[in-house]
Homo-oligomer: A and B are copies of this chain.
Amino acid sequence: MQSQMRKLKYHVATSLDGFIAREDDTVDFFPADLPPILDYFDTLASAYDTVVMGRGTYEPGLKVGMTDPYPSLETYVVSRTLKESPNPRVHLVREDPIGFVRELKTRPGARTDMSRIVRAAQLSVAKDIYLCGGGTLAGALFDAGLIDEVLIKLNPVLIGSGKGVAPRLPRQVDLELLSTKTYRTGLVLLHYAVKR
């Protein structure tokens, strides 16, 4: 059933020079523009039923009391150091994140109601898995061949240094451009498939 396996999509905001956060994990350099954010949450709700993230991505929200950052998604946080989950909805993945994600992709997943788009055909497809970072986890998952698509929200700002998209990538990952979308705010959404 390889062909029906759910996709893992790395969906992340970056500066123009390729940083997803400052070295201290803050992201104050991203403009808080409403239209792209609404579009983004609409995508999350309709396309995904599961989110996977590293501890470094989870903790900045946690520090301000956000224990469940994506309430509509089944949530997994990869961490060797967190002792217990701060929220019963948030599942910790303590060992073998590669094996865990590989198994997660084979699970059936919720169904997406596509009837708005092709009402007559009554189509539905399995919802995909949202990888929201960070770069270290993404690098390991790229290396294991588990990431299927990359969606970059490219912000019109240069910050010079910070945490990269996939900083520990052992070899280059070739991509195929699927689409681009430009917002009035100057943000460009770039959608790629990983070439096999």
Contact = CB atoms under 8 A, between A and B. Distances in A.
Interface in A141-196: 142, 150, 152, 154, 156-161, 164-170, 172-177, 180, 182, 186-188, 190, 192
Contact of A164 (B160, B169, B174, B180): B160
Nearest to A181: B180
Nearest to A10: B158
A: interface residue count bin: 35 or more
Copies in the complex: 2
A16 interface: yes
Nearest to A139: B160
A169 B168 CA distance: 23
Q: Among A17, A161, A174, A188, which residue has the most Cβ atoms of chain B within 10 A?
A: A17
Interface of A: 14-19, 29, 139, 142, 150, 152, 154, 156-161, 164-170, 172-177, 180, 182, 186-188, 190, 192
11 contacts: A16-B190, A18-B19, A139-B160, A150-B158, A154-B190, A158-B166, A158-B173, A176-B186, A177-B182, A177-B187, A177-B188
